[in-house]
Structure 1
Amino acid sequence: MYAENGRGAMAHLLLLAVFLPLCTQSQPVMSFPPLQLRRSIPYHLTCNVLDYGAIGDGLHLETTAIQAAIDGCASIGDGRLIFPAGQYLTGTVFLKSGVTLVVEKGAVILGSRLQKDYPAESKQWYVILAEGAERVGITGGGVIDGQALKFVERFEERKNVMVSWNITGDCLGDECRPRLVGFIGCRDVHVWDVKFSEPAYWCLHIVRCCDTSIHDISIHGDFNIPNNDGIDIEDSNNTLITRCHIDTGDDAICPKTYYGPLYNLTASDCWIRTKSSAVKLGSASWLEFRNLTFDNLTIVDSHRGLGLQIRDGGKVSDVTFSNIKISTRYYDPSWWGRAEPIYVTTCPRDSKSKAGLISNLQFINITAISENGIFLSGSTDSLLSNIRFTNVNLTYRRWTKYRDGLVDYRPGCRGLVNRSMAGIIMEHISDLDMVNINMRWHGNGLKGWDKPMDFTPSTINSIHFAGFQSEMCH
């Protein structure tokens, strides 16, 4: 996407007024109504995709039949469009207001691997796309499959090299592949009880939406495919993510701000494994993030646990992480992350960017087993402020053979930097509270660790500790 690749601030500023979230048109951005889970959308009729000419053999392209079924269902009124058992090969289809796709168990919607089956504009490269729609959803217990392995140009041990559809020059690098499912400028979105498999690029993309519920879904992306993010929430308000299983190579739950703020997001009761960051705010971070809650997550074998990666001048505040179990390990350094259980950073992406502001973060009841320590880093002109850790149990040990002793500032900033490891590295922080912190150090594989805490006093203002313990264990 735009800000991730740093194509310049001028276009961003010109577009900002155009792309403000729809939610702001009807409610103040600072209003946070309680999020409520809805498992269904009211409907008046049921349609069947087979009645519109679909075959479901997985061989014939069925874009036209599926689109006709969506349009027909939408023209009659709020309805459910049934996909019975079978395989439905398609290019981009456009979901319309009032339509819920019911992909039944045994049914698979297959994304085409051919560029000619998708729209001319890369911004519409999705297998399923809703634009400006209301009361839309996907459910049914079936599968939506992006056929990612058919987009691999060359299989490599570190990271696969992917096909690029960059013909017109309007996309760069990994943007030049289709996403799986997108909701853009929508209201009242519900995605539940459905499986997403092998996205070629981002999997589930929520853009400038209001009132979105994502529940009981599973995402499986190939562990060696770059940028196959799980759930990307962009410039959206009032988002609820619950009971999801996300197993993918790139970031799992990833809020971003490009052209509008992001308010009122809750993610809870999810299981996550990723070769990148399980939760990542950013790196696209032009505008504000506020009132985000992450609770009761289980993060396993991931390259990074909880991350804030603010690079474009945006402001982050009032974020709570609670009741989270984390296991982080090293992977190849071509993937961002260095096994940090918690990673909070703000610094300019490049010479045209400025550091953002991060304040009022809480980490409560966190348990982690990790190959590296916590990394907290503001910048000289933008200190992290009002950060609180309460009841945090950290166990440090090594079990992979990847190189340690590197601090990861990417993207931008200082890149990868050699530095001795520590239980917590802190720089450019004001008002840090740590209450009931317990560090345990396994004797095997601790070469390279320097100290429990590493900070330069001149960069730190006001640290408070109560109940800090560090001990060796075997």
Structure 2
Amino acid sequence: MGFSLLIRSIFLTLLFSLVQSRSYTSPPNIKLPGDSLTLSVTDFGATGDGINYDTSAIQSTIDACNRHYTSSSSICRVTFPSGNYLTAKLHLRSGVVLDVTESAVILGGPRIEDYPAETSSEWYVVVANNATDVGITGGGAIDGQGSKFVVRFDEKKNVMVSWNQTGACLGDECRPRLVGFVDSRNAEIWNITLREPAYWCLDIVRCENTSVHDVSILGDFNTPNNDGIDIEDSNNTVITRCHIDTGDDAICPKTYTGPLYNLTATDSWIRTKSSAIKLGSASWFDFKGLVFDNITIFESHRGLGMQIRDGGNVSDITFSNINISTRYYDPSWWGRAEPIYITTCPRDSSAKEGSISNLLFVNITINSENGVFLSGSPNGLLSDIKFKNMNITLRRWSNYSAGLVDYRPGCQGLVNHSATTGIIMEHVNGFSVENVNLNWSDDDDLNSAWNVPLQFRPSTVNNVSFVGFNSRLLHKFV
């Protein structure tokens, strides 16, 4: 191992150990029991022709594998040979690994009758519910056929089908998720492509010990609610070496019914028309002990975000070794190209104000059309935030009005601050800067768009420290 790699390995080990020392539960250690049996879906009658539904054959294979696991405590693989396997909702059982081979595709059905008459939150193409020792792998793909849910294609934001007219659900988000792990333990998803979800792609709900690695998530860039990975009320989750290219939030921890601890995401590439990493906006309970390291965020609408709207608190979060480029796409999507967006405010008059504390941003490189936005609320302060070893370059890529800040959802909506600001702060107690360079492009009129490096009022911002903060103009060379 080279010296630089050794130093990096030591750094990551110390960083992970530090976070775990603050946490409540042990880190993930996914080691599924050894394989002892492989069953092919074609032996149970699946055709793989992409026209006829193979749901019954696939589910029968899964159930047979589960019976083997129950009797032997050994993992059983359900293998998909070359083909396109059209299916309605599938239930992944304990002790079963779906082995979708490289030339095989599981196709989610596009009809409402493909998803049983349950609540819309239980609509998935593949779901493991109350399962243990489960996995998905094989090098192939699971495809939600999301294009079949588009009512009207739009270059800015597609209009999607809504099944609320049937009375099955409310609102415009009545579409099936692609893959879900719900109330499950010891789940592993690796070497698989998840593509074209109609709604959220990979949903991890109230789970313990989940590993997601070497996964490609390919959504439609113009489809709303096309989230990459949503982690809800789950502990001990590791995401690494993933490629996420999608229309909505890429990695999105949420707390609906309980706290979320010990999430680590590393070595990944992200492009999205919304937030690359976002805590919230569902935030009724606490987030604690999260690490995001060695991540590239490419031309996304927003970079690192927190939308704390429901009274939960955030603490002990580290963002390290991250390259961020953000650009403005369209006002129909939340965000104005903010590379870092940290906010607390009540969702509505009945919501509580949560707090955010102890955030570390270290070794961050930013190229953006907008500045950093740090906005607490009177009873939901941001505290103990540190920026260390950061390079921020502000440069215009698109044509939009300068100075708009997006507080949505809730809060104040879009607010005009007149000029693009390098760092905006409000309701902050404890902000320190160490070795931060703020670079300004002179591509535009400096007097109207790019002339405010820092903006804060002492009445709402306290305990600020700047050591090695530099602001300079980058001249364009022809």
Aligned to 2:76: 79
Mapped contact 1:421–1:449 kept (Cα < 8 A): yes
1:92 paired with 2:77, answer no
What SS class does the counterpart of residue 457 from structure 1 fall into?
A: coil
Which residue is 2:437 aligned to? Answer: 438
2:423 match: 424
Instruction: Compute the displacement of 1:473 (Å).
Output: 1.0
Give the stretch that moved more between structures: 439-448 or 131-140.
439-448
CA deviation map 1:288-346 (0-9, x unaligned): 10000000000000011100110000010000000000000001011011111111000
**Structure 1 consecutive aligned stretches of length 4 or more whose deviation exceeds 6 Å:** none
Structure 1 contact 327–341 (Cα < 8 Å) conserved:
yes
Matches within 5 A, 1:449-468: 449-468=450-469
Structure 2: tracts of 5 or more residues without a match: 1-20, 70-74
Aligned residues: percent identity? Answer: 63
Deviation at 1:44, TM superposition (A): 1.6
CA distance in 2, matches of 1:444, 1:63: 57
Distance in 2, matches of 1:272 and 1:172, equals 31
C-alpha distance in 2, partners of 1:141/1:174?
33
1:114 to 66, 88, 111: 111
Shift, 1:356, TM fit = 0.8
2:113 is paired with a residue whose SS is helix
TM-fit CA distance, 1:167: 4.3
Question: How many angstroms apart in 2 are the aligned matches of 1:174 and 1:257?
Answer: 22
In structure 1, distance between residues paired with 2:235 and 2:61: 30
- The CA distance in 1 between the partners of 2:326 and 2:167, in whole Å, is 37
Task: Give the stretch that moved more between structures: 141-150 or 121-130.
Answer: 121-130
User: Partner residue of 1:345?
Assistant: 343
Q: Is the contact between residue 307 and residue 342 of structure 1 (CA under 8 Å) also seen in structure 2?
A: yes
Q: 2:121 aligns with which of 110, 120, 123?
A: 123
Residue deviations 1:418-448 (CA, integer Å, cap 9, x gap): 1122000000000111111101111102541
- Secondary structure at 1:270 match in 2: strand
1:411 alignment partner, SS class: coil
Aligned-partner Cα distance in 1 for 2:386–2:25: 23
1:169 is displaced (CA, Å) by 4.1
Give the Cα separation in 2 of the matches to 1:199 and 1:178. Answer: 8
The whole-number CA distance in structure 1 between the counterparts of 2:359 and 2:368 is 21
**Corresponding position: 1:105 with 2:105:** no
Q: CA RMSD in A?
A: 1.4
d(CA) in 2 for partners of 1:282, 1:123:
17
Match of 1:14 in 2: none
Rounded Cα–Cα distance in structure 2 between residues aligned with 1:370 and 1:30: 33
Q: 1:260 aligns with which of 234, 258, 264?
A: 258
Contact 1:332-1:402 within 8 A present in 2 as well: no
> What is the Cα deviation at residue 165 of structure 1?
1.2
State the Cα distance separating 1:37 from its structure 2 match: 6.1
In the aligned structure 2, how far is the partner of 1:306 from the partner of 1:280? Answer: 6
Alignment of 1:203-218 (within 5 A): 203-218=201-216
Q: Give per-residue Cα distances to partners, 1:56-91, cap 9 Å, x unaligned.
A: 000001111111110011111220100011000001
Give the structure 2 partner of residue 376 of structure 1. Answer: 374
SS in structure 2 of the partner of residue 227 of structure 1 = coil
Structure 1: 5+ residue stretches without partners: 1-27
Distance 2:383 2:167 in 1: 41
Provide the rounded CA distance (Å) in 2 between the counterparts of 1:42 and 1:398.
54
SS of 2:401's partner is coil
Aligned positions, number: 446
Aligned-partner residue type, residue 460 of structure 2: T
Q: Take 1:298 and 1:158, find their aligned partners in 2: how far apart are those partners?
A: 24
Tell me if structure 2 keeps the 8 A contact 1:136–1:188. Answer: yes
Q: Where does residue 391 of structure 2 map in the other structure? A: 393
Report the TM-score, using the length of structure 1 for normalisation.
0.92
Q: Is the 8 A contact 2:23 2:289 kept in 1?
A: no
Q: Which residue, 150, 153, 160 being the options, matches 1:162? A: 160
Q: Paired residue for 2:311?
A: 313
Alignment partner for residue 60 of structure 1, among 47, 52, 55?
A: 52
Q: CA deviation at 1:174?
A: 3.7
Partner in structure 2 of residue 278 of structure 1: 276
Offset at 1:401?
1.7
1:126-180 CA-to-partner distances (Å, cap 9, x unmatched) read 0001100000000000000001111000112321110011146453334300000
Query: Is the 1:256–1:284 Cα contact (8 Å) retained in structure 2?
Result: yes
- Residue number in structure 2 paired with 1:302: 300
Q: Structure 1: how far apart are the matches of 2:22 and 2:295?
A: 27
Q: Distance in 2 between matches of 1:434 and 1:347?
A: 24
Query: Which amino acid in the other structure matches residue 452 of structure 2?
Result: K
Q: 1:30 to 1:438 in 2, by over 3 A?
A: closer
1:284–1:460: structure 2 CA closer, same or farther, 3 Å change rule? same
Mapped pair 1:50 → 2:42: yes
Is the contact made by 1:183 and 1:205 (CA closer than 8 Å) also made in structure 2?
yes
> Helix, strand or coil for the counterpart of 1:398?
coil
Report the AA paired with residue 94 of structure 2.
Answer: S
2-side partners of 1:330 and 1:282: how far apart? 21
What CA distance in whole angstroms lies between the structure 2 residues aligned with 1:29 and 1:328?
A: 32
Q: In the superposition, relative to structure 1, how do residues 41 and 145 fare at CA in structure 2: closer, same or farther (>3 Å)?
A: farther
CA gap of 1:410–1:41, structure 2 versus 1, over 3 A, is farther
The 8 Å contact of residues 29 and 263 in structure 1, kept in 2 or not, is answered as: no
Q: Give me the TM-score of the superposition, normalised by structure 2.
A: 0.91
Q: Would you say the 8 A contact 1:284–1:312 is kept in 2? A: yes
Find the aligned partners of 1:174 and 1:52 in 2 and give their Cα distance. 37
The one-letter amino acid of 1:443's match is D
> Does the Cα contact within 8 Å between 2:403 and 2:421 map onto a contact in 1?
no
Q: Name the CA distance, whole Å, in 2 between partners of 1:254 and 1:49.
A: 33
Name the amino acid aligned to 2:47: I
8 Å contact from structure 2 (residues 293, 321) kept in 1: yes
Checking the alignment, whether the CA contact within 8 Å between 1:261 and 1:288 is kept in structure 2 is: yes
Task: Find the residue that maps to 1:166 and give its secondary structure.
Answer: helix
Residue in structure 1 matched with residue 219 of structure 2 by the alignment: 221
SS at match of 2:257: coil
SS of 1:269's partner is strand
**In 2, Cα distance between the equivalents of 1:43 and 1:403?**
58
Give the SS at the match of 2:397.
coil
Question: Take 1:46 and 1:320, find their aligned partners in 2: how far apart are those partners?
Answer: 41
- Measured against aligned partners, the alpha-carbon deviations of 1:99-118 in whole angstroms (never above 9, x if no partner) come to 00000001000000011111
**Residues 41 and 137 of structure 1 are in contact (CA less than 8 Å); yes or no, is this contact kept in structure 2?**
no
2:116 partner amino acid? P
